[in-house]
Amino acid sequence: MKALSVALLLALLASVHRIPLTDYCFFSRSRLCVLWELQRRFLLFTGESDLLSVPPDPQVQGRETERSFENQKEKNVSKQEALNESQLLTMQDTFSSQGEDLARRKKNEERGHQLYKMSNKILKHSKSKKDKEEAYQLLTKAADMGHLKAMEKLAAALLFGYHGPQNITAAVTLYETLAEKGSHRGQTALGFMFSYGIGMEYNQAKALVYYTFGSLGGNLISQMILGYRYWVGINVPRNCEAALTNYRKVAFFIADKLEKNEEMPVEKVRLMEKSENLSSNNDFLDWDVHQFYKFLAERGDTQIQKAFYYFLKAAKAGNTHGMAFLGKLYRSVCELGSWSEKFLTAYFAYQDGNIDSSLIQYALLAEMGYEVAQSNSAYILESEQVKILSNDQMYPLALLLWNRAAAQGNAFARVKTGDYHFYGYGTKRDYVTAAIHYSLAVDHHIAQAMFNLAYMYEHGLGIPKDIHLANRWYDLAAQTSPDASIPVFLAHMKLEVKILFSEIQLFKQTTIPAGKKSHATSWKTVCIIAYLTSYKHTFIWRHPSVQKTPFQRFIGL
């Protein structure tokens, strides 16, 4: 009875939902036939005989299922074959396109290299302006084709103003592209521009990062800059060993060039000396000394060889003095590199009135540690003729460069640093710091520093007021430099007038009767006039200006 109820229920469900009983596959074959019969009778009873179906044959159904599966499999295979064929065609098109792109790129590289070689050939053998313009047009085309060396050379031309107008913005764009491509020249140039705030923000941290990447890439200029920074301690802790390591890499390269006579010494002209019709042969003397010691060592001079041997041994043992000495034997060699040719191109640019071009070239050399370049860069900056920097950048940068030159022993730069602190150029006015710099310059027998120090003693600026010390320093200034004789004479007269004036005042108060003041009044007038006149001339002489000689400044030329 229970089985019949289940069967009737299933039959009912099957009829209502139009679901064949064969779908209930959990029944056995015999039970399935019974159920089908029950379904048939129930449908006949209800009058829905049209729903009757032939009882399924499991074998036939199995074959149909298998056939259906095979058909679906064939369809899937056809679809997969079509998909594979489509993918194959797509890959063939892609490879074909990539092959064409590769061939086109290779052709552009070859064409760019040819243009680059043609440009170099013209620049090397031609001197006319027209030929150089043509060469840089070829160089621009090669750079547009992605030739790396052409891009580097074109960027340098735009930055330094070689054979054409400067374009700092275009140079920055090119150098950023080069840096992304891993060019150590591009990284070094960006470090330089961040260091001075040229074409971008002033940021010493970013400058150091780019210099480090440039050095790791083998750039000799970056290695020179890092050597100098570690030696002096610019934005990094002072580290003789790190300085020695960087200088040594460059020195070995330069020494090899020197042995092949591929590097020649270049005269390092001081702009302030040229403007005062002076000359300096110190750099040639340094080269002569270098050649002399080299000659003695090659000839077999045992003392020279032993000295070098022991310093090298001390450095390897970790001795700081040995490292410092070797770092200085290496730095001197490094400064003979081909980049020193920029001293000539920078000087010629200055002579031609290309002030910005001259400044950029001197500034790069200054960054590498050349003291002459530091002085020249500061000199150009304070001339107020620079256009690539804003006015508020001029004096702070000039002070920075004067200070670095002073740290390398330039006594005149030491005086200039004192002047900047005295007047508040590029920094806050600080008489104490100014007096310190003047005192340091006095050790180098600089008459200007002696005169300035006397002036500060006279008026008690940054140091205690002392008339006697003032007189003494005035005298020493006159003895040190004939140019100081007349200013010192006037300064002495001013001091004497001040003393006389004070004595007259004292005399008037103690001895002159009340009704006889006309004589004292006339004396007072004479003293004031003499005082103001002498003060004016002494002020003119000591006012910081590298454009004229002290005597020219005194007479007002």
Residue 492 CA, chain-centre distance (Å), reads 50
Q: Torsion angle, CA of 291/297/300/306, rounded to 10 degrees?
A: 160
Positions of the chain with pLDDT under 50: 2, 4, 17, 19, 21-27, 277-312, 315, 517-521, 536-540, 543-557
Q: Which amino acid is at 237?
A: P
Give me the pLDDT at residue 248, please: 86
pLDDT for 527 equals: 53
**Closest listed residue to residue 248, CA positions, set 312, 201, 179, 301:** 312
- pLDDT score, position 414: 95
CA distances from 557 to 108, 140, 204, 385 (A): 61, 48, 41, 20
Q: Which region holds residue 470: left if phi is over 0, alpha if psi is between -120 and 50, else beta? A: alpha
- What are the percentages of helix, strand and coil residues in the chain, rounded to 5? 75, 0, 25
Whether the CA torsion 53, 56, 62, 63 is positive or negative: it is: negative
The pLDDT, as a whole number, for residue 131 is 84
* Predicted local distance difference test score (pLDDT) of residue 251: 82
CA 344 to chain centre: 22
pLDDT at 96: 61
**Three-state DSSP state, 424:** coil
Type of residue at 67: R
Residues 6+ away with beta carbon under 8 Å from 510: none
Q: What is the pLDDT of residue 297?
A: 46
In whole angstroms, what is the distance from residue 529 CA to residue 547 CA? 30
Burial class from Cβ neighbours inside 10 Å (0-12, 13-18, 19+) for residue 358 reads buried
Q: Which helix (H) or strand (E) holds 410?
A: none
In this predicted structure, what is the pLDDT of residue 39?
Answer: 62
Residue 304 has what pLDDT?
A: 43
Q: Which pTM value belongs to this model?
A: 0.67
Q: What is the pLDDT of residue 450?
A: 93
**Are 224 and 250 within 8 A, CB to CB?**
yes
- Side-chain half-sphere CA neighbours of 51 within 13 A: 22
Question: Where is 443: in which H helix or E strand?
Answer: none
Cα angle 127, 130, 133; round to 5: 95
Tell me phi and psi for residue 3, to 5 degrees. Answer: -65, -40
